Amino acid sequence: MDFWAELGESPVNSPSILDDRFDQIFPSPLRKFSLIFWTPVTIAAQASQLLVDRRGTRVLDIGSGVGKFCLVAAALTDGYFTGIEQRKDLVKAAKDAVAKHRFTNIQIIHGDVTEHSFSEYDAFYLFNPFEAYVFKRSRMNGALPVFVNLYLKCVKHVAAELVRKSIGTRVVTYAGCAHEVPNCYDCQLSTFGERLKLWVKVREATPHDGQFGRARRSPHIATNRSFGTLGKSPMENAGSLQRT
């Protein structure tokens, strides 16, 4: 059976195509990052089901890497997926995969999410996109600086954009602290050892909600030093879960 048909026909809870096989899509130098940096197929399958609640739901993958989430999600749902990624090499790998496998419901944008408006999207996916700014061990290579203020800039932008969305907007986070998700969103489902979460906007925001996502519930976010005391990063914890 064709690769994508096999993926599409397998149960969402246990896709028949596992990560080692799926990752053959990507150039070999990038495959080694999969365990830590790209969403596992099982998680992407679940996340896409949570995000797409009707045909044509427009989902933004914030920091899309090689496009692994978008590819799995586009194969399994009727949603339309846009990935935005700042690294050129990852964008090229994602675009090549989209073209090679003839996906018409995926768009990959090369850009910085802090310069991107969320007005065109209905739902949002985040696999810890900004952790690399604050956890050295979460970096793919030395290309990204470790700056708390860059992290804060990204988190604040995402939070401010999410605040503007209408009630009922869905956000799925995987493996992060979800600092980007404002307090006007409630966590309505938590699965995979509390790493995969569905957040839904349940009320209009107060003036504080756009300031910094869930900062009030996450006091350790204040300084660079405090990041250094957290031990394993959320991304590393996610990596240890992936191949089950």
Ligand X SMILES: C[S@@+](CC[C@H](N)C(=O)[O-])C[C@H]1O[C@@H](n2cnc3c(N)ncnc32)[C@H](O)[C@@H]1O
Interface residues toward ligand X, by CB under 6 A? 37-39, 61, 63-65, 68-69, 84-87, 90, 112-114, 127-130, 154
Nearer to ligand X, 86 or 169 (CB): 86
Please list the helix, strand and coil fractions of the chain in percent, rounded to the nearest 5, in that order: 40, 15, 45
Nearer to ligand X, 74 or 84 (CB): 84
CB of 240 to ligand X, least distance (A): 15
DSSP H or E run through 188: strand 185-191
CB of 11 to ligand X, least distance (A): 21
Nearer to ligand X, 20 or 112 (CB): 112
User: b or e along 199-230 (b: 16 or more beta carbons within 10 Å of the residue's beta carbon)?
Assistant: bbbeeebeeebbbbbbbeeeeebeeeeebeee
Give the distance, in angstroms, between the CA of residue 155 and the centroid of all CA atoms in the same chain: 13
CB of 44 to ligand X, least distance (A): 7
CB of 55 to ligand X, least distance (A): 23
Nearer to ligand X, 37 or 80 (CB): 37
The CA-atom distances, in angstroms, between 8 and each of 17, 75, 128 are 10, 6, 26
Nearer to ligand X, 112 or 204 (CB): 112
Distance (Å, whole) CA 79 – CA 52? 6
Number of residue whose CB is nearest ligand X: 63
How do strand 196-201 and strand 80-85 relate by DSSP bridges?
unpaired
CB of 124 to ligand X, least distance (A): 11
Distance (Å, whole) CA 120 – CA 242? 31
